[in-house]
Amino acid sequence: MLTQLILALVTFQQHSPYYKKTKQFFYHLLEAPDSRLKSRFDKAMIVSVLFSVFLLIDEVDTPASSFERIFEHLLIALFILEYLLRAWLHSDVHHIILTQYAKALYLNHPMQWGNVAKMIIAQKVAYMLTPLAIIDLLAILPSFRSLTVFRALLIFRLFKLFRYFKSLRLFAEVLESKRFELYTLAIFLSFLIFIGSIGIYFFEHAANGLQVRNLFDALYWSIVTVTSVGYGDIAPQTTGGRLVAIGLILTGFGVLSFLISIIVSAVNDKMHGLRENSIYAELKHYKSFVIICGFGRVGQHIAKQLEKHKQHFIIIDNNEINAMNARHLGYLVIHADASKNEVLINAGIKQKASAVLCTTGDDVVNVYITLTSRYLNSSIRIISRANHPQNVKKLYQAGADNVIQPFEIAALVVAQYIGKPVAFEAILGVIREEKQFIMETLPVCAGSMIDGITIAELDFEHRKLMLIGVVSANPTHRKHKNSYALKNQHFYFNPPPFFILRSGDLLVVLGREIGIAYFREQLKNSNPKESKR
């Protein structure tokens, strides 16, 4: 009966969207590394902790006011709640129960509730024994004023700041990564201090009994000397004692230099990964962005254009110099091989990336990146550069939506410049929105005000717009002349006044930005689906 009840409860938890949503919310609040909610919570906690420490220090010589007491109680309640929530987030109890139940069912064994309880407790205890969880717990204790000894634990409340400051956490991670070197150094240092303490005690206790009274004085002197602090309150008087001091000072310098070099090299090792992590975190804040693979000449110009139009992008380049150039220009760069699945996945090809541009100077690499990108995301837009005409087809086969050939495009510009420079500049200006007038496409949605009406009825002249043509896949338009085949549809240039617009058609209009935006808004409002939203 109890088993059935527990199972019903955990199954409910497993399938309840409310439970999932709640847990997700607290995960974003407390744990998710790139969550904005967590960032705000951390900032609030830093201020609260510092304020509470200030109040606790103030209480040392002045009695606490009622406000201070209420604040302290509220903060402790928050600390306890945070501690419990983190323990809850650490592992899913219902998941353990359901997994064990499934195992028991499969093996046809009765459910071993004792084992399940042990597993749950083990996981929760494992959390409680993590350094940060211990600090959390110790940070709560100073509030128990009746126990004076706990007040000394006030320092742990400051340690709690480790949890909220990213850079402090990072420093702890750096130290953690060099654990072996630091252990070695600590053992060597302990050995050195031990020899120094024994040495100074041996030489000085008899001759300088007033200063080196016992082994503790000798230990204190050794630590002060080896760390190059040297208070001078204890000074060796004998030759033997002074020789020990010289030895300790010289080796102390060595140990200190070794410690610094370990920390510097650890920070250096971590820097590459950290830089990339910060890039990935920044990418997650963007609604959409473009991935540029290759920061050569073409990549540089694309980045310049995207930057000019305030569009977000990330550069991936395997070449150290190219990556450094991009970094100097202030762009987001990943120094890695863009043809690797992991690199593109980390860069967000499956999430918010809207397009991949393969712009390296090597067609082989471009084909490989194109193929990888298409494999990872079947719907993403891929534009690839072909340096040789014979590779254009291969790039399309690999999955590129568009292939650009630098010399072909440049040749087109030269050809257009010779024949009709003014007209060409005009049309380029319109495309690039450098002129007052722009060219845009407007869709004809089913049920909107323009669905089923003629061009004449639309009266573009009155709207101060110019209709260049209509793009459509609708076969009913085939009877019209001036039809040009596009990929799967046709472009009807200068359609006659009796041309009836159908849903799915795309109007190509020229006009001022404001005029086009106004017309677009009218179309949107007249669309039954859009107006419902």
Partner 1 sequence: MKRIAVFGYSLMSLEVIKQLNEEQYSYIFIVKNESEALLVAEQGFDTKIIDFRNDEAIKSVGIGENIDILFCFYPKDSDNVFLTISARALDNKLTIIAIVDDPESAEKLLAAGANKIIDPYEICGRKTHDMLAKPDITDILDNTVFGRHDLHIAQIEIPKNSPLQQTKTSTLLLAGTYNLIIIGVVDKVSFDTLHFVMDEKEHTLNTGDVLVVLGPARDIKAFKEEIDAVTGI
Q: Which residues from 405-444 bind partner 1, rule CB under 8 A? A: 405-427, 429-432, 435-437, 439-441
Report how far residue 352's alpha carbon sits from residue 290's, in angstroms, rounded to the nearest whole number: 9
Q: How far apart are CA 164 and CA 275, in angstroms?
A: 19
Stretch that binds partner 1, among 129-137, 218-226, 240-248, 481-489 (CB under 8 A): 481-489
- For residue 398, the minimal CB distance to partner 1 (Å) is 17
Cβ within 8 Å of residue 41, ≥6 positions away: 29, 30
User: Considering the rule CB under 8 A, would residue 464 count as an interface residue with partner 1?
Assistant: yes
**By three-state DSSP, how is residue 353 classified?**
strand
Q: Which of 130, 494, 525, 531 binds partner 1 (CB under 8 A)?
A: 494
* Shortest CB 496 distance to partner 1, Å: 8
Asked whether the beta carbons of 347 and 360 are under 8 A apart, the reply is no
Site for partner 1 in 207-226 (CB under 8 A): none
Please identify, using beta-carbon distances, which residue of 273 and 419 lies nearer to partner 1: 419
Residue of 510, 518, 524, 526 interacting with partner 1 (CB under 8 A): 510
Query: Which listed range, 37-45, 52-60, 143-151, 461-469, lies at the site for partner 1 (CB under 8 A)?
Result: 461-469
Among 400, 345, 392, smallest CA distance to 370 is for 400
Distances (CA, A) of 17 to 6, 7, 73: 19, 17, 33
The first and second tokens of residue 334, run together, are: 């990943």
First to last CA, the chain: 49
Q: Is 166 in the site for partner 1 (CB under 8 A)?
A: no
Beta-strand pair 381-385/353-358:
parallel
Beta bridge partners, 356, equal: 291, 382
| Residue with smaller CB distance to partner 1, 181 or 425 | 425
Pick between residue 196 and residue 348 the one whose CB is nearest to partner 1.
Answer: 348
Please, which residue, 45 or 455, has the CB nearer to partner 1? 455
Sign of dihedral through CA atoms 195, 196, 197, 203?
A: positive
* 63 touches partner 1 (CB under 8 A): no
Select 197 or 391, whichever has its Cβ closest to partner 1.
391
Q: Both tokens of residue 420?
A: 């009709």
Answer yes or no: are the C-beta atoms of 361 and 294 closer than 8 Å: yes
Q: Which is nearer to partner 1, 306 or 365 (CB)?
A: 306
Closest approach, Cβ 504 to partner 1, in A, equals: 13
Q: Per CB under 8 A, does 10 bind partner 1?
A: no
Near partner 1 in 347-406, by CB under 8 A: 355, 357, 359, 381, 383, 385, 388-389, 402, 404-406
Cα atoms in the 13 Å half-sphere on the side-chain side of 292: 27
Q: Does 288 bind partner 1 (CB under 8 A)?
A: no
CB nearer to partner 1: pick between 52 and 384: 384
Is 149 among the residues that bind partner 1 (CB under 8 A)?
Answer: no
Size of the residue set binding partner 1 (CB under 8 A): 75
| Residue 321 DSSP SS3 | helix
Q: Which of 163, 161, 235, 223 is nearest to 197 (CA)?
A: 223
Contact flag: residue 469 with partner 1 (CB under 8 A): yes
Residues 311-350 that bind partner 1 (CB under 8 A): 311
Quote the CA–CA distance of 318 and 122 in Å, as a whole number: 45
Three-state DSSP class for residue 510 = strand
Of 40, 145, 179, 297, which one interacts with partner 1 (CB under 8 A)?
297
Rounded Cα–Cα distance for residues 251 and 188 (Å): 10
Residue from 21, 109, 287, 309 binding partner 1 (CB under 8 A)? 309
> Can residue 498 be called a binding residue for partner 1 (CB under 8 A)?
no
